[in-house]
Structure 1
Amino acid sequence: MVRYLITRVGQALIVVILVTVIAFLILHLLPGGAARATLGKDATLAQLAQFNHDMGYDKPWIQQYLMFLQRLLHGDLGYSYQLNQSVIEAITQRLPKTIVLSLLSTLLAIVVAIPLGVIQAVRRNRWADYTITSLSLLAYATPIFFMGLLMIILFSQVWPILPPEAPQGFTVAEVLADPAGLVLPTVTLAIVTVAVYSRYVRSSMVDNLNENYVRTARSKGLPEWRVVLVHTLRNGLFPIIGLLGMYLPALFSGALVVESLFNFPGMGQLFWQAALKRDYPVLLGVTLIISIATVVGSLIADLLYAAADPRVRLRGSAS
């Protein structure tokens, strides 16, 4: 296990370094350079030269990259002149609220998807399996912005039982204080995830139901519900562990649309507003944070998968 852990952590560090290199190159390949992107088209040559000197952009690229890494290690992601605050401060204010929305939607998706996947596997090739499969494909194929608009029309206008706007609190506690406002954004973000997770659970459960240990459990006279829920489901949930880490980029892209649609003050909305205003420091900072979070999430998923299934770490150690 120790060798497997060292291998995976080493691979994650290499990917993180590559991410910082890409972010550094993007910063220097902006039209007109970082100075023009930050100060705007009306900045004079003297102002551009002074900005490049202050930021160290007039030094050799290797030295600039080392300075870039040093700033990252100190939590310095640059300064947003559009927001008149540092990028890390802007992200720190909004990231916890996006995490809350993503966690709520993920928990809801898991709670709904696992029973659906089990029902599909147990009743495969029957009307329940066909019905859930059809609904899952429909949900997966529906654009998330259209799903959100449909939710607003149905539950805020046709049946006015939920507010059409997400909570507008500045802190996580203020957001959680309005649970009714969180319902539509959470459900909208969870629907597509339910469709994906339920399909993976179904496939994994179908494979495991045909294994020898299931036949052995049935031959011992165990009830079918115990065979399915105790013996088979535990092994059938392995794909979900991997998806939890790999699905972070999809969650953020969904949160970007959902937060803009429901006016949720999270990091997705911050990224959208920065794109409209061409606030490059914020765009690069958010992209870097999401990239690193994806690498860390994948690493955690690998370690959890190895802890749950010894065969994974044994293969990793052998390689």
Structure 2
Amino acid sequence: MDILWFLTRRVLQALAVILIVTVVVFCLLHALPGGPARGILGPQATAQQIAAFNHEQGLDRSLPVQYVYYLGTLLQGDLGTSYALNEGVAQLIGQRLPKTLVLTVLSALVGLLLAIPLGMWQAVRRNKPVDYVVTGLSFVAYSTPVYFLGLVLVLVFTQVLRWFPSQAPQGDSLAQVFADPAALVLPVVSGAASMIAVFSRYMRSATLENLAEDYVRTARAGGSRRGAILRRHVFRNSLTPVVAMLGYYVPVLFGGALVVEQLFNYPGMGLLFWSAAQSSDYPVLLGCVLVISVATVVGTLLADVVQRVIDPRVKAGRA
């Protein structure tokens, strides 16, 4: 019963957050100078053409009326129609979202597969020169902007070494994306770099905490080898908080995907968002932000649930 109330409360909070995000983004987009008419029709458009476009799209109504109309269509499952592409926003996102998910999931998998053993390795060699070196590199990787890291990777691996193509896989289907795995390497590495830096630090801290626990000293006193203790006990207990934190990293992954897709011309939702921003295509921008907001809220909700299951001491009524 307690977990049911916890889930109900968190779902209601999630819906409230999504509603607030739509209000804020809707108002910010409509506050931008120029408006979509100028971006769609071009700088040579006359005042009459702009007025006709605004009337056709309902942009000459008051902002509250526009938002209520948008929310009504949204509740019916209609995300609107792209001004620039003249296609349904839901259809455009449905075509691009799977590719973005492929990029983010691969980045997350690579990040975790490297960060978890790296963090444990650092914890075992705590305060040794190699620990300081890896810690310094982690701070550098975390503080380096994604676009700068991507540019460096392009320069080194496509221009100097010529190991990988500079452009990500193209095509409308996932089969075409996976048809050129070499072209996925640099985008995935660009997206995974900061995750490796962050989660290796989490894993290092969690491992150090578990190494100081009584059960580790008891196992050592019983004659168990350090490798066996790390594999059978420390690894599992250190991994649970790291997995719980993964849900909070969802917005970072999606935000990084936006930059990575534009940099490598990857035909995902991030590139769609970037193109829509250039032409002030409000329906596409709102649709992309809504999808990212839902993914972020769901990821946070899952992280809260995992923490609740892992540690029952977490209160069901916490924010």
Aligned residues: 316
Residue from 150, 161, 167 that aligns with 1:148: 150
1:220 to 201, 219, 222: 222
**TM-score after normalising by structure 1:** 0.88
Q: Read off the aligned partner of 1:189 and give its amino acid letter.
A: G
Give the equivalent residue in structure 2 for 1:99: 101
Residue identity opposite 1:222 in structure 2: S
Q: How does 1:77-88 map to 2 (within 5 A)?
A: 77-88=79-90
Pair 65,281 (structure 1): closer, same or farther in 2 beyond 3 Å: closer
Are 2:51 and 1:48 equivalent residues in the alignment? Answer: yes
Alignment of 1:11-90 (within 5 A): 11-31=13-33, 42=45, 44=47, 48=51, 51-52=54-55, 55=58, 58=61, 61=64, 64-90=66-92
1:311 matched residue in structure 2: 313
Which residue is 2:193 aligned to?
Answer: 191
Between the aligned partners of 1:285 and 1:38, the Cα distance in structure 2 is 18
Deviates more, 1:114-123 or 1:35-44: 35-44
Letter in structure 2 aligned against 1:19:
V
Give the superposition deviation at 1:185: 0.9
The one-letter code sitting in structure 2 at the alignment partner of 1:176 is F
SS of the residue corresponding to residue 151 of structure 2 reads helix
C-alpha contact (below 8 Å) 2:190/2:260 kept by paired residues: yes
Whole-angstrom distance in 2 between the partners of 1:84 and 1:318: 44
2:283 is matched by which residue type in structure 1? P
% same residue: 50
For the aligned residue pairs, the C-alpha RMSD in angstroms reads: 2.6
Cα distance in 2, alignment partners of residues 250 and 282 from structure 1: 20
Equivalents in 2 of 1:36, 1:120: separation in Å? 55
| Aligned-partner SS, 2:313 | helix
Shift of residue 129 of structure 1? 1.1
The Cα of 1:6 is off from its aligned counterpart by: 1.9
CA contact (8 A) 1:31 1:37 kept: no
The alpha-carbon distance between structure 1 residues 308 and 173, as it changes in their structure 2 partners (threshold 3 A), is farther
Match of 1:245 in 2: 247
The alpha-carbon distance between structure 1 residues 36 and 71, as it changes in their structure 2 partners (threshold 3 A), is farther
Matched with 1:294 is: 296
Paired residues for 1:168-187 under 5 Å: 168-187=170-189
Q: Which consecutive residues of structure 2, in runs of 5 or more, have no partner in the other structure?
A: none
Summarize the Cα distance change of 1:76–1:40 in structure 2 as closer, same or farther, 3 Å threshold: farther
Q: Which runs of 5+ in 1 are unaligned?
A: none
Structure 2: how far apart are the matches of 1:53 and 1:279? Answer: 15
Is the 1:144–1:188 Cα contact (8 Å) retained in structure 2?
yes
Which one-letter code corresponds to 2:257 in the other structure? A
- Aligned position for 1:161: 163
Shift of 1:173: 1.5
TM-score, normalising length from structure 2?
0.88
